[in-house]
């Protein structure tokens, strides 16, 4: 939620017709309401604390009467190729808008069908602590899962840590998954849901993995940003994924640097950091790994990408041609890291000292090789991801 200073909450009379109320006072909420004129709401993302342009917005709209409303972003590049997503149940279940209502790069329509209907809209499918708590309920009590507090965030919120393993057997391998170093990158959490569901599914390959490995998942690195509805990416003075060199300014990254080497405890390990790319266009509408500056690590990433491509069962495409953005190409250059090192550069120092693989995975917000990304097929992608991790480890043993 934004502070009251940035609250955007307003009633507007449309002659004798419907009134529209726009609200961002809920976890993850973010909007600047510019104007409501006729049947059109003019808005833009609140990028307070962000350097440069980005695109996170997430608000609730209540129409007093059934009618079609138009929503126009006054800032360019704030909508995906599918326009916007909406939720009718307060942000637990999301759908992309009907594509006939996707009216251009900065404009969409939505038809409210009931009096005083509240619909939540966002550029993608937001996921906050409420969503996570709702999801994890079904796994509480499973003795292969332990949930605890990794650290307190800078603003005093608990940052969750999930451990999954067969705790009756001493692990011989550690696997770390991180998400939301950039608060806006919510699609990663659907991958995590799919991974956890698969890990606890009793499938023979996952039972074998849990007998061998202990998996740690930190679902919200920038917990404050997620709950406050911050953009998070390009946060001033530096964001969570530029906080792994010098003195860390965020409690979560500081704790990763201190605690993960102790948790690994000299065992072989893998560290995977989940991200979402820019909003649309080339390199942003397919899933891929970001090539590491160390060519030996990049060679391992290529092997992992190959395993992903060859073994995927879910509907979302992943191919080796697009699945690895080599270091030095497109945006993946040293110049992108001037403010500080990202997780995978930090982890890379342990390569040949136990670390077998580190990678960033960029998973798109809306379109993957032309396919619509949904919560469900993102979960399937997460299931494929943890299966690929199991196969990768198995191959190392050979």
Nearer to Zn ion (CB atom), residue 275 or residue 387: 275
Residue 235 lies near Zn ion (rule: CB under 5 A): no
Q: In this complex, which beta carbon is closest to Zn ion, that of residue 182 or of residue 322?
A: 182
Cα angle at 377 between 101 and 147, to 5 degrees? 120
Q: How far is the CB of 225 from Zn ion (least distance, A)?
A: 12
Separation of alpha carbons 57 and 289, rounded Å: 26
CB 22 within 8 A of CB 8: yes
First to last CA, the chain: 50
With contacts defined by CB under 5 A, name the span among 8-16, 90-98, 267-275, 379-387 that binds Zn ion: 267-275
- Quote the distance between the C-alpha of residue 60 and its chain's center: 21
Structural contact between residues 385 and 361, judged by C-beta atoms closer than 8 angstroms: yes
Residue with smallest beta-carbon separation from Zn ion: 275
| Locus of tokens 């949904």 | 374
275 binds Zn ion (CB under 5 A): yes
Residue among 54 and 86 whose Cβ is closer to Zn ion: 54
Q: How far is the CB of 281 from Zn ion (least distance, A)?
A: 16
Q: Which is nearer to Zn ion, 212 or 275 (CB)?
A: 275
Tell me which residue has tokens 């080339």.
Answer: 282
Number of neighbouring beta carbons within 10 Å of residue 5: 6
- The three-state secondary structure class of 40 is strand
The site string for Zn ion over 19-58 (x = CB under 5 A, - otherwise) reads ----------------------------------------
In sequence order, what are the residues at sequence separation of 6 or more whose Cβ sits closer than 8 angstroms to the Cβ of residue 373? 187, 316, 363, 364, 365, 366, 367
Whichever of 185 and 230 has its CB closer to Zn ion, that residue is 185
The least CB distance from residue 263 to Zn ion, in Å, is 23
For residues 169 to 208, the per-residue mask of contacts with Zn ion, x marking binding by CB under 5 A and - elsewhere, is -------------x--x-----------------------
Residue 185 CB, nearest approach to Zn ion (Å) = 5
Total site size for Zn ion, rule CB under 5 A: 3
For 12, 92, 163, 199, 203, the CA distances from 166, given in Å and listed in that order, are 57, 30, 10, 11, 14
Q: Are 362 and 286 in contact (CB under 8 A)?
A: no
Measured in degrees and rounded to the nearest 5, phi and psi for residue 204 equal -55, -40
Q: How far is the CB of 179 from Zn ion (least distance, A)?
A: 9
- Binding status of residue 238 toward Zn ion by CB under 5 A: no
* Cβ neighbours around 120 below 10 Å, total: 23
Nearer to Zn ion, 275 or 356 (CB): 275
Q: How far is the CB of 181 from Zn ion (least distance, A)?
A: 6
Q: Hey, how many other C-beta atoms are within 10 angstroms of the C-beta on 198?
A: 21
Nearer to Zn ion, 263 or 337 (CB): 337
Residue 58 or 197: which CB sits closer to Zn ion? 58
Q: How far is the CB of 235 from Zn ion (least distance, A)?
A: 11
CB of 362 to Zn ion, least distance (A): 7
What is the nearest approach in angstroms of Zn ion to the Cβ of residue 300?
Answer: 21
Place of tokens 């391992």: 300
Q: Are 18 and 63 in contact (CB under 8 A)?
A: yes
Q: Which stretch binds Zn ion (CB under 5 A): 31-39, 153-161, 216-224, 270-278?
A: 270-278
Residues constituting the chain: 398
Query: Where on the chain is the footprint of Zn ion (CB under 5 A)?
Result: 182, 185, 275
């Amino acid at each position: 939620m934004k502070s009251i200073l940035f609250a955007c909450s307003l009633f507007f009379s449309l002659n004798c017709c419907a009134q529209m109320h726009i609200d961002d006072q809920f976890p993850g909420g973010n909007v600047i309401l510019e104007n409501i004129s006729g049947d059109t709401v003019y808005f833009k993302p609140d990028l307070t604390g962000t350097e440069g342009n980005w695109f996170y917005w997430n608000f609730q709209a209540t129409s007093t009467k059934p009618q079609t409303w138009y929503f126009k972003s006054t800032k360019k590049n704030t909508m995906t190729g599918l326009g916007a997503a909406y939720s009718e149940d307060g942000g637990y279940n999301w759908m992309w808008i009907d594509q006939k209502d996707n009216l251009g790069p900065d404009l969409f329509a939505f038809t409210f069908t009931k009096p005083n209907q509240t619909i939540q809209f966002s550029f993608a499918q937001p996921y906050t602590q409420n969503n996570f708590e709702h999801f994890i309920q079904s796994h509480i009590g499973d003795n292969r899962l332990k949930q605890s507090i990794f650290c307190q965030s800078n603003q005093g919120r608990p940052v969750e840590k999930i451990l999954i393993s067969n705790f009756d057997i001493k692990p011989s391998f550690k696997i770390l998954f991180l998400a939301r170093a950039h608060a806006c990158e919510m699609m990663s959490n659907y991958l995590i849901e799919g991974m956890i569901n698969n890990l606890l599914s009793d499938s023979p390959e996952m039972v074998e993995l849990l007998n061998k490995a202990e998996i740690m998942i930190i679902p919200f690195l920038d917990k404050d940003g997620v709950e406050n509805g911050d953009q998070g990416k390009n946060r001033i003075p530096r964001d969570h994924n530029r906080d792994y060199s010098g003195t860390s300014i965020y409690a979560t990254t500081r704790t990763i640097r201190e605690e993960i080497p102790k948790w690994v405890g000299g065992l072989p390990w893998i560290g995977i950091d989940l991200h979402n790319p820019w909003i649309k266009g080339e390199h942003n509408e397919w899933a891929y790994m970001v090539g590491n500056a160390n060519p030996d690590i990049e060679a391992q990433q290529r092997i992992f990408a190959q395993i992903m491509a060859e073994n995927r069962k879910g509907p979302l495409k992943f191919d080796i041609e697009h699945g690895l953005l080599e270091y030095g190409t497109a945006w993946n250059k040293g110049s992108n890291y001037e403010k500080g090192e990202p997780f995978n550069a930090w982890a890379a120092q342990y390569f040949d000292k136990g670390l077998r693989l580190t990678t960033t995975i960029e998973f798109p917000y809306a379109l993957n090789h032309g396919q619509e990304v949904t919560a469900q097929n993102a979960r399937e992608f997460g299931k494929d991801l943890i299966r690929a991790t199991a196969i990768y480890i198995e191959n190392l043993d050979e």
